[in-house]
Each structure stands twice: as C-alpha cells, then as structure tokens.
Structure 1
Amino acid sequence: MKPGALFRLLLTGYGVTLGGIWLVLSLLALFGQPTIGFGGQPLTGLSGLLAGLVTGVLVVLFTTLVNWLLVLTGNRIWSWLAGLRRGTPPR
C-alpha cells in the first residue's frame, strides 16, 4: 500500500469516528453542556462549539499522523525481516 493511500485511509477512519464524537461533544457544548474544557474551566455556547471543532480537527490529524508513522515503520521493518517485495502478490 502506498503511503499516501494509507494516510487517506487512516484519516477517513479517524475522521469519521473521532470527528463524529468531537462533533457531538461540540454541539452539546453549544447547548450548555460542559463537555469541552480548557484549563479546568468548561466552555459552553459558541466558544465551546469553536473550541470543540478546533480540538477535534487537531486530535484527528495528530492521531492519524502518529498511527501513519507507526504503520509505515512497522511495514518497513516487516518487509525487511520477511523479505517481502513491494508490489508482488502473496503466493
């Protein structure tokens, strides 16, 4: 799998799952629930919505990037140890 395709796959997966959770939490903060907080203080209303959306995007990007690097490293080590070649189907 090409690195760009792997990154898009991880970004889509984390974007749908974690992004969906952050979107729900942000909407709850918009309506007054203390679901988003910074510095020990809950943010509600429009500031809670904006903070939640920004935080959600950052969490999704950070999680995607870290896992992408780990999977790429693992694939490189595995192909080096197992002698796999890129682009050849398994026998």
Structure 2
Amino acid sequence: MPAILLELGYMSNRFEEQSIRAKTFQQTAAKAIAEGITSYFQVYEVYGANDRKLATFQHEIDALTYAKQTRSAIHVFDKDRQKVIYKVLDKITL
C-alpha cells in the first residue's frame, strides 16, 4: 500500500511559518498535492507471469500496444479505474 508523508514547511522557520499560514500557499499546495495523487493513479500497468509488473504507461494505447507485442504480457491494469482492461486468455489443449 503506497503512503505519503508531506512536509510543506517548518513552524520553527519564520519564513516557512508565514508561508504555511498564507491562504494562497495553502491553496497552491493543496492543488499540487491533489494533482500528484491523481497522476499517480492515472497510469496503465502491464503485468506478466506471476503478476510481475513489466511496464507502466501514461496512455492506454501505449500499454495495449506494448502488451500485444510482448509475448510475456498477461494483462493490462487501469490503475485509475481499478480494473483489468486487457487479458490474454490461456489456450487449453485436451
């Protein structure tokens, strides 16, 4: 499970304390934090055998192209929507 620790300044530093108390700083920091969290999840992960991550892409088409060209790719996971968007089905021989 990913975790983050944010330190936006120190109250022991007068300049940083003034910044931390300013509404504009708070709004800018909050927006940047939200954008960072959003961008962390807006990726497509390509997995191989044993759920080993092979690659991560910003764009769905790039992940799908890579998965289809890579014989070891098993599935592509949309991290933002939390679902598999491409999966190689095993062929069963009898």
Tell me the TM-score normalized by structure 1: 0.39
Structure number having the greater helix percentage: 1
Structure number having the greater strand percentage: 2
Tell me the TM-score normalized by structure 2: 0.38
Bigger RCO (CA 8 Å, 6+ sep): 1
